[in-house]
Chains A and B, each alone.
Chain A
Amino acid sequence: MSEIVTITLTINGRRITRAAGAHLTLLRWVRDEAGVTDPKYGCGEGICGACTVLMDGEPVSSCIVLAAQADGAEITTAAGLLERDGSLGPLQRAFHACHAAQCGFCTPGMLMSAAALLADGRTWSPAEIRAGLHGNLCRCTGYGPIVDAVEAAQRERAQ
């Protein structure tokens, strides 16, 4: 059977230590061990982006990172973008204002990729935003409102 490893992850500011199968991906660990279900399983290949989380600030496909490799890291998911009082954070408000979610399944991952793009501090053009998000698939929106949302968040941040 599988070996058990004990690892510690700080997920959205909450430090969690668990002993679980060494073979668990970061995605499975976050969802099943820590009960944080906003990153989604979409493909297991690292392609669709629905599992995107920030690992020490960098966007990664959590379905193709082993939890054991992430031991000690800070993990941020969409829930981690909320304000302390539970209201939507600035990027999320922009998504909301621009109607950037339809079925919503790609949204948590899309938010994390967008957050990483904006964390860089640069000002991106719409074409650059569009290119920066090309690793996150969406089947519902046609991407326009999502690009708009990131642009809007970027503008608001500048003010």
Chain B
Amino acid sequence: MLTRPFRYERAAHYADACDLLREHGDDAKVLAGGQSLLPLINIGLAQPGVVVDISRLAEGRDITVGADGYLTLGALVTHARLAADARARSAQPLLPEAAAHIGNNRVRNRGTLGGSLAHADPAAELPLVMVALGAAYEVTSGHASRSVRAEDFHLGFFTTALAADELIVSVSAPVLGPGWGWSFQEVSRRDGDFAMAAVAALVRIADGLVVEARVAAAAVSDRPVRLADVETALTGCPPGGVADRVGPLQGISPAGDAGASAQYKRRLARVLVIRALQEAAGRAGEAA
């Protein structure tokens, strides 16, 4: 492998980890699950001088459902744990569903929620779902914390609002409330591959009509995109008629690659939006 040797620091607490990041600056990279960082190091595309291992922090592993109607997940919760957690599935099924789509079981055993969000791959499942849900990330620099909304956190291609000495501590997402239905749709070349397009949708039905919708897409831009036009067009729609309300998607600019052109991804995204809305509306109907 093309690894260049680096130094290793293990942090016991978030405060220590942030101190280390301040100390080493650009020369340091954060290591949690390692499922994104270590491949890059092995291929030679990342060449940190220091790796700060936060995988054994005492904090960051809880899954709690609060009375305030929020599901809170520690940043070090692995995808496997999230996918299997019964409380999470009952509180906000979009999250375990998305986690179950990530990579293969080995990646899920090690990869963490915080790692996926901080890595900010535009095709990734968890950033997509967080944006769709309007989740908030609790971020710390050791001596101070702040809350950042998902849509303000993911700024672009592998770019986030994290400062160099900040780490995500936890994420809070609203619990699926009464009248809401959900859906997660992803199409990739093979199971577990990065999405060619992915959609997360939530639809609320009251008195037999759609009254609220939240729809977001991944792999169609440099970050997850809320499809505001689609959401607006759905208001007042009967659940069986959601497909007719979805026109050409606005605000997306997918990048083509050797296996799929931008045009195809655009078309695929629209198909998935329709499927997601149909499934979410169906689930909302059942829930009502």
Among A77-85, A93-101, A128-136, the stretch in contact with B: A128-136
- The answer to whether the Cβ of B175 comes within 8 Å of any Cβ in the partner chain is no
Complex CA gap A113/B106 in Å reads: 9
On chain B, the residues within 8 Å of A68 by CB distance are 8, 10, 53
Chain A interface residue count, Cβ-Cβ cutoff 8 angstroms:
31
- The answer to whether the Cβ of A90 comes within 8 Å of any Cβ in the partner chain is no
Min CB distance A26 to B, Å, is: 10
Contact with B along A28-61 (1 / 0, CB 8 A): 1000000000000100111001001000001111
- The answer to whether the Cβ of B191 comes within 8 Å of any Cβ in the partner chain is yes
- The answer to whether the Cβ of A63 comes within 8 Å of any Cβ in the partner chain is yes
Interface centre among A23, A25, A28, by most chain B C-beta atoms within 10 angstroms, is: A23
Among B12-20, B30-38, B152-160, B254-262, the stretch in contact with A: B30-38
B26-58 residues at the A interface, CB under 8 angstroms: 31, 34-35, 38-39, 42-43, 51, 53, 55-56
Q: Say whether A135 contacts B6, CB under 8 Å.
A: no
Complex CA gap A2/B3 in Å reads: 11
Q: Say whether A135 contacts B38, CB under 8 Å.
A: no
Q: Say whether B53 contacts A25, CB under 8 Å.
A: no
In-complex Cβ contact of A46 among B5, B8, B106 (8 A): B106
* Interface CB pairs A-B, < 8 A, 28: A2-B6, A22-B51, A23-B8, A25-B3, A41-B1, A44-B1, A44-B2, A44-B39, A45-B43, A46-B35, A58-B109, A59-B105, A59-B109, A60-B109, A61-B35, A61-B110, A64-B35, A65-B38, A65-B110, A66-B53, A68-B8, A69-B55, A69-B56, A113-B106, A116-B105, A132-B105, A134-B190, A135-B192
